[in-house]
């Protein structure tokens, strides 16, 4: 993950020059070759139709529909201020359409890494980026998934043919294509599991004019998945297992906090005209190594089982001490305030399942303040006489 500001604009250009063999040709052949080169020079550099439809062209520059610059076509060099994945994929498509079998990439670490990945998927050789073992594994898995898919009009095409078409497919429809997801599209409480590829602060969806957010990119069984959320920065700092790049991790949105943010309002021409208050929410995230969630799921089953002695459970799983303290508090409340023993049992059972669900999700429970935190292991709750009902019995 790059942390320094780029010193060069992100760019892709053809590596080297094609060999010159005119000395071995006849005069007529050299004349024909010169005419052919002159004809090619007069022909505009090809750009796939999918790329033209995706962006707005003004001269050599291509823009997003909101007016932000996507990239500049300088003929022999394609430059961009963006690290947007769609922009990078489009540049690789252009490179293939122009017959660049080998490209050189320059710019930020993230741009060069993504350009290397997309170019290698398209069958192009790349200079300017040295991939790590994690990047090689990511590429191998993506190629393997692509080869395992059944032949269809879309998937039967070669990587270069898909690159030439711009790989314009609906978001998430192709398992090997990166899927960018906002928190609003994710199932609440669902666990997202995958190998951690990258994470860091960036403008939302890597769009130049969007506000700052935080992304997490995973390699899942269904392909790459990018999840956005401003709370991820805190989640990484407070993570108990401290996941690193290459680790198998799990993400879970545990709750939503309401917030009011400033939203940009634009006119019909895409120009910013005013800011307006927008009521929305921020997701509260948990990110840990996958083994953490597996261990918590097993611990939750212990909490759900009322036949397991609390002292033995806490001895084997010290992290459950807080959960059993909460459960003991619920038992005391039921003994004091609920007369019917059956209703007491139902109330405690409901609290037990709620606590177990929180344990399974990985949520930390607020500590219960007792005079001695070891009371749970040494003292069982004492039965109490129900308080007198202040109202007469009817």
The pLDDT of residue 237 is above 70: yes
The pLDDT of residue 251 is above 90: yes
* Backbone torsion region of residue 270, taken as left when φ is above 0, otherwise alpha when ψ lies between -120 and 50, otherwise beta: left
The pLDDT of residue 180 is above 70: no
Give whole-number Cα distances, 287 to 147, 202, 213, 236, 362, in Å: 31, 18, 16, 7, 9
The answer to whether residues 263 and 120 belong to one domain is no
Domain stop point among 107, 140, 164: 164
Question: How high is the pLDDT of residue 304?
Answer: 92
- In a domain, residue 173? The reply is no
> Which range has the top average pLDDT, 5-14, 164-173, 308-317?
308-317
- Following DSSP, what letter does each residue of 105-159 receive, concatenated? EES-HHHHHHHHHHHHHTT-EEES----HHHHHHHHHHHHHHHHSPP-TTTTS-H
Question: How high is the pLDDT of residue 110?
Answer: 86
- In a domain, residue 39? The reply is yes
Q: Taking residues 82-111, report their average pLDDT.
A: 90
Residues 6+ apart with CB under 8 A from 247: 195, 196, 289
The answer to whether residues 186 and 105 belong to one domain is no
* Backbone torsion region of residue 209, taken as left when φ is above 0, otherwise alpha when ψ lies between -120 and 50, otherwise beta: alpha
CA distance 107 to 5: 10
Contact 129, 116 (CB under 8 A): yes
The structure tokens 């039965």 sit at 383
The answer to whether residues 149 and 201 belong to one domain is no
The answer to whether residues 110 and 226 belong to one domain is no
pLDDT in tens, 187-227: 445 889 999 988 888 888 777 677 888 999 998 888 888 99
Query: CA nearest 188: which of 249, 256, 287?
Result: 256
Coil, strand or helix: which one is 261?
strand
- In a domain, residue 5? The reply is no
> Which comes out higher in pLDDT, residue 269 or 307?
307
pLDDT in tens, 133-153: 888 888 888 888 776 655 444
CA distance 91 to 147: 24
Band the pLDDT of 69: cuts 50, 70, 90: confident
Question: How high is the pLDDT of residue 1?
Answer: 46
> Which comes out higher in pLDDT, residue 322 or 32?
322
The answer to whether residues 47 and 157 belong to one domain is yes
- In a domain, residue 3? The reply is no
The answer to whether residues 183 and 283 belong to one domain is yes
Question: How high is the pLDDT of residue 157?
Answer: 42
Band the pLDDT of 42: cuts 50, 70, 90: very low
Average pLDDT of the chain to the nearest whole number: 75
Considering its fold, how many domains does the chain have in total? 3
Q: Taking residues 72-81, report their average pLDDT.
A: 92
Query: CA nearest 212: which of 196, 239, 232?
Result: 232
Q: Taking residues 76-105, report their average pLDDT.
A: 90
Question: How high is the pLDDT of residue 365?
Answer: 59
Question: How high is the pLDDT of residue 6?
Answer: 42
The answer to whether residues 268 and 335 belong to one domain is no
Domain stop point among 265, 291, 317: 291
- In a domain, residue 245? The reply is yes
The answer to whether residues 280 and 316 belong to one domain is no
Residues 6+ apart with CB under 8 A from 95: 12, 14, 78, 103, 119, 124
- In a domain, residue 207? The reply is yes
* Backbone torsion region of residue 263, taken as left when φ is above 0, otherwise alpha when ψ lies between -120 and 50, otherwise beta: beta
Question: How high is the pLDDT of residue 288?
Answer: 94
pLDDT in tens, 299-354: 999 999 999 999 999 998 888 998 999 899 999 999 999 999 999 999 999 999 99
Residue 363, domain extent: 305-378
- In a domain, residue 273? The reply is yes
The pLDDT of residue 250 is above 90: yes
Question: How high is the pLDDT of residue 267?
Answer: 62
Band the pLDDT of 272: cuts 50, 70, 90: low
Question: How high is the pLDDT of residue 46?
Answer: 86
- In a domain, residue 341? The reply is yes
Query: CA nearest 164: which of 298, 30, 51?
Result: 51
Question: How high is the pLDDT of residue 32?
Answer: 52
Band the pLDDT of 368: cuts 50, 70, 90: low
**Can you give the pTM of this predicted structure?**
0.55
The answer to whether residues 269 and 199 belong to one domain is yes
Query: CA nearest 110: which of 185, 37, 201, 182?
Result: 201
The answer to whether residues 50 and 100 belong to one domain is yes
> Which comes out higher in pLDDT, residue 42 or 211?
211
The pLDDT of residue 25 is above 80: no
Question: How high is the pLDDT of residue 316?
Answer: 87
Contact 228, 255 (CB under 8 A): no
Question: How high is the pLDDT of residue 247?
Answer: 92
Structure tokens, 16: 């080297």
The answer to whether residues 235 and 90 belong to one domain is no
Band the pLDDT of 167: cuts 50, 70, 90: very low
Domain stop point among 232, 258, 291: 291
The answer to whether residues 72 and 142 belong to one domain is yes
């Amino acid at each position: 993950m790059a942390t320094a500001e780029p010193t060069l604009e992100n760019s892709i250009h053809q590596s080297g020059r094609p060999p010159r063999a005119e000395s071995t040709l006849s005069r007529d052949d050299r004349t024909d070759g010169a005419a052919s080169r002159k004809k090619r020079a007069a022909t505009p550099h090809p750009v796939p139709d999918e790329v033209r439809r995706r962006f707005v062209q003004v001269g050599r520059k291509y823009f997003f529909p909101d007016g932000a610059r996507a990239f500049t076509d300088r003929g022999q060099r394609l430059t961009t201020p963006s690290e947007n994945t769609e922009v990078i994929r489009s540049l690789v498509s252009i490179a293939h359409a122009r017959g660049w079998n080998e490209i050189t990439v320059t710019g930020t670490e993230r741009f060069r890494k993504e350009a290397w990945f997309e170019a290698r998927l398209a069958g192009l050789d790349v200079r300017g980026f040295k991939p790590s073992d994690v990047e090689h594994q990511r590429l191998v898995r993506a190629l393997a998934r692509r080869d395992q898919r059944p032949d269809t009009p879309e998937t039967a095409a070669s990587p270069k043919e898909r690159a030439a078409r711009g790989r314009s497919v609906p978001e998430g429809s192709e398992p090997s294509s990166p899927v960018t997801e906002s928190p609003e599209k994710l199932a609440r409480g669902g666990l997202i599991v995958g190998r951690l590829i990258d994470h860091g602060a960036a403008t939302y969806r890597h769009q130049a004019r969007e506000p700052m957010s935080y992304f997490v990119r995973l390699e899942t069984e269904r392909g790459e998945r990018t999840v956005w959320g401003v709370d991820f920065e805190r989640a990484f700092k407070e993570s108990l297992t401290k996941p690193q790049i290459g680790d198998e991790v799990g993400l879970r949105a545990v709750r939503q906090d309401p917030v009011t943010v400033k939203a940009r309002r634009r006119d019909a021409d895409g120009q910013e005209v005013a800011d307006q208050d927008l009521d929305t929410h921020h997701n509260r995230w948990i990110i840990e190594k996958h083994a953490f969630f597996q261990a918590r799921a097993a611990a939750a089953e212990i909490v759900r089982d009322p036949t397991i002695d609390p002292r033995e459970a806490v001895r084997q799983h010290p992290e459950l001490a807080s959960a059993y303290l909460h459960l003991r508090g619920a038992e005391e409340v039921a003994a004091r305030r609920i007369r019917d023993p059956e209703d007491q049992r139902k109330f405690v059972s409901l609290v037990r399942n709620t606590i177990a669900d929180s344990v399974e999700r990985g949520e930390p429970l607020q500590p219960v303040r007792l005079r001695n935190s070891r009371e749970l292991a040494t003292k069982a709750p004492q039965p109490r006489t129900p308080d007198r009902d202040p109202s007469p019995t009817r």
